[in-house]
A = this chain, B = another copy of it.
Amino acid sequence: MSVTLADVAARAGVSAATVSRVLNGNYPVAGATRTRVLRAVEELEYVVNGPASALAAATSDLIGVLVNDIADPFFGIMAGAVQSEIGQATRKLAIVCNTGGSPERELTYLTLLQRQRASAVVLTGGAVEDAAHGAALATRLRRLDAAGSRVVLCGRPPLATEEDGPHPLALTFDNRGGARRLTEHLLSLGHRRLGYLSGPAARTTTRHRLEGHRAAMAAAGLAADAERLTTHGGYDRASGYDGTLELLRRDPDLTAILAANDTVALGVCAALRDRGLRIPQDVSVTGFDDLPFAVDAVPALTTVRLPLHDAGARAGRLALGREDAPPGGVATFHGDLMVRDSTAPPRP
């Protein structure tokens, strides 16, 4: 079958233990035997048996990265950053798992990762807000922690559960603040009839962004309007398109639309164009995230830039145990308001 440690040992004329020591570099080995062993490894094209090694060492070198939608650059950028940070550390294998936003699959993957005895797990993006799922998730994460896996949340708020015990490290985005600033930006331009296209209900990201928007609206005495001109959809382009038509139905005279994210904003722009409305002369539009394509939208999208890469890289380091935990176990990343061409004062 496959070549084993023993084969290498035989060929090098040493014991299996010595080969193991050379390969792991944890114990002192004489230079001569060392090179002899390495040559044997080369000649035999020996590749360590990961499972056997994981079994004996009671720890594997897999690190799981869970994403809601692997086809969405929002997650791709974070996952790529995590992985490139981990790629530096040889031997560790960062593996990306796509939950498709499904709570069940999230749980399934966590079990699968626990079963592989993953050394760490990074959960990216917003969480589903559902009591039952939250409890199930907390349980899984507790078990992972108990089994020795490091758990890091990236772009996700700390666990809501009040129970004691180890809380996973959390790197969160200031979604509330970003949405508030976006809304304030529009208000300061003179807008008063703002529509808000919210993301999927029961998601932390959705709720926080909505809260930021409402806070700014309330501060301007427009709480009632904020309520009336909010719709819920997905994080996809179609939701932006359909939502825009719905908003225009509710208020044909609105002068600005805030989209849940950049992708939704693209759908908003398409719908407005199809309706013959100009951006930003007739209606201002904002996105969220500042994904690479946002600057290429026409007109270029005013949005909030989230440090996706930085957050992912830091999550990777935390997962590796290379960096100390932030104070309190939670670090918040703030976004930058990027004012571009899709927003302007409303028509008089």
A79 contacts across to B, CB distance below 8 A: 70-71, 96, 98
A269-325 interface (Cβ within 8 A of B): 269-270, 273, 292-293, 295-298
A15 within 8 A of B: no
A48 contacts across to B, CB distance below 8 A: 115
State the copy count for this chain.
2
A98 contacts across to B, CB distance below 8 A: 79-80, 83-84, 96
B58 near A55 with CB under 8 A, answer no
A253 within 8 A of B: no
A270 contacts across to B, CB distance below 8 A: 295-296
Contact A55/B47 with A76-B73, A91-B112, A100-B84 known, Cβ cut-off 8 Å: no
A117 near B267 with CB under 8 A, answer no
What's the Cα separation between A54 and B62 when bound, in Å? 14
Looking at A45, A96, A100, A267, the one whose CB has the most chain B CB atoms below 10 A away is: A96
**Chain A contact surface mostly:** helix
B47 near A50 with CB under 8 A, answer no
Contact A112/B93 with A47-B143, A77-B71, A79-B98 known, Cβ cut-off 8 Å: yes
A1-40 interface (Cβ within 8 A of B): 1-2
A266 contacts across to B, CB distance below 8 A: 293, 296
What's the Cα separation between A269 and B299 when bound, in Å? 12
A42-96 interface (Cβ within 8 A of B): 45, 47-55, 58, 60, 62, 69-73, 76-77, 79-80, 83-84, 87, 90-91, 93-96
A76 near B72 with CB under 8 A, answer yes
What's the Cα separation between A143 and B77 when bound, in Å? 32
Contact A70/B96 with A114-B47, A270-B296 known, Cβ cut-off 8 Å: yes
Could you pull out 15 A-B pairs where Cβ atoms are within 8 angstroms?
A: A49-B115, A62-B116, A69-B80, A70-B79, A71-B77, A71-B79, A72-B73, A76-B76, A79-B98, A80-B100, A93-B95, A93-B109, A266-B293, A267-B296, A293-B293
